[in-house]
Chains A and B, each alone.
Chain A
Amino acid sequence: MEIGMEPMTSVTRRQVLLAGAGLLSVLMVRPGRAAPTDMEAAIQAMVGKAEIRPGRVHLEIPPLVENGNAAPLTVTVDSPMTEAEFVKTIAVFNEKNPQPNVAVFHLGPRAGRAQVSTRMRLATSQKVVAIAELSDGTFWSDSADVIVTLAACVEG
């Protein structure tokens, strides 16, 4: 009987510890930075209720960025770019900069190729997300984790 009770108490203790760890991580989030939820909110504002599917989008960004002031990135989308089927919008979001948005690019069938390149700032090591809106109203995404050695926005 006592042996049967033992697992129950240990589960309860584990739950308490987990709750404590969760609270600690919430307290450790520093102000002045976009929380991952800010990024989700920004993405939500772009897509609305539509479903975002992984695939078709390729986000190329170096996994290890030496200088967070200018990280090169290229977004390519699998699309024939014809009048019937083309990429309307490519948006780039980040997780931990002060603001979740990076840039929104508006394309059309005259682009020929669904590809854009630019340079972005990275305040710290984080996840970068690219989302593409196609002419048929579907959304596709890709993400990449980036490690930054010299962060942007630290020095004056």
Chain B
Amino acid sequence: MARPLISVPATAKRGEIVEIKALIAHPMETGYRPGPDGRVLPRDIIRRFVCTYNDVEIFSADLFPAMSANPFIAFTTVAVESGTLTFTWTGDNGFSQSETATITVS
């Protein structure tokens, strides 16, 4: 299992714009790189990233091999209500992983 790292402020004022940072440990093998034996390693990347806020999609991304290993994405959202942010990464070889973070909005 790849290890995700997420930064979401624990508390926010209603209407405040909060910055969200999401990183996941993943090699993002491009499919163009030769391995130790000289043969090209097969592609293994994360193709999609989705963030939902209380089950409503607020941000998503389609990723390509030109993304760096351990893909990092930072974006913003308006803190509307207390709840859960769910982050999902899906990709090649059936890769799928989710992580959640809670935010308290006052």
Please list the residues of chain A having a beta carbon within 8 angstroms of any beta carbon in chain B.
32, 69-71, 94, 97-99, 101-108, 110-113, 115-121, 153, 156
Contacts and interface: CB of A to CB of B under 8 A. Distances in A.
B58 interface: yes
Interface string B61-74: 11111111101111
Contact of A110 (B36, B73, B77): B77
A113 B67 contact: no
B13 interface: no
Given A113-B17, A153-B30, A156-B35, A120 B74 contact: no
Contacts, number: 94
B68 A101 contact: no
A116 B36 CA distance: 35
Interface in B85-102: none
B65 A98 contact: yes
Given A98-B32, A110-B77, 7 more contacts: A71-B68, A101-B64, A107-B75, A112-B76, A116-B73, A119-B67, A156-B36
A114 to B, nearest CB: 9
Given A103-B61, A105-B59, A121-B30, A111 B66 contact: no
A118 B35 CA distance: 26
Interface string B31-63: 011111000000000000000010010111111
